[in-house]
Amino acid sequence: PLANHLHAAGIDCVRGSLDDVIARFSGCLAAHPCDWIVRICADSPLLREDVVRTVAARVGAEVDADLVTTTGKRTFPIGTNVEILRASSLARMLAEPSLDKDDREHLTRFMHRNPDRYRIVNVESGDPSLASVDLAVDTVDDLHRLEALP
């Protein structure tokens, strides 16, 4: 239904395997070539614009980075994270023979597991205690929990 809604609104939507997120991102990249890919998960409805802008600013400053992330050392609430990865690094990762099923399902897992092979820049909130706050929506109970917030 969401894809149909987007198409009806004239917004392109690239779809793919539920379990092979790397292939889905690769298909999107083939349809829409670019230098950098922004990863924002659908379970993060409370992601703030300023967090995205802060991470994007680091991409401009860190020209040698493969990945700019807020999850290397978590200091933002769960469900408010963003990652921006270099398209050429995604292509390099796709060629890795040791990618496993979990790597293919979680886009940047392989990079995080191989920090000696990828330049990862972590952006921190300045308040590590925020890492214990959960604002992700993965279940109906999560949605009700967030709806009850003041």
User: Is the confidence at residue 60, as pLDDT, over 80?
Assistant: no
Beta strands in 100-150 (DSSP E): 120-122
- Which tens digit of pLDDT belongs to each residue from 3-52? 999 999 999 999 988 889 999 999 999 999 999 999 998 899 999 999 99
- Which tens digit of pLDDT belongs to each residue from 91-147? 999 999 999 999 999 999 999 999 999 999 999 999 999 999 999 999 999 999 999
Confidence (pLDDT) at 64: 84
pTM of the model: 0.88
- CB of 74 closer than 8 Å to CB of 126: no
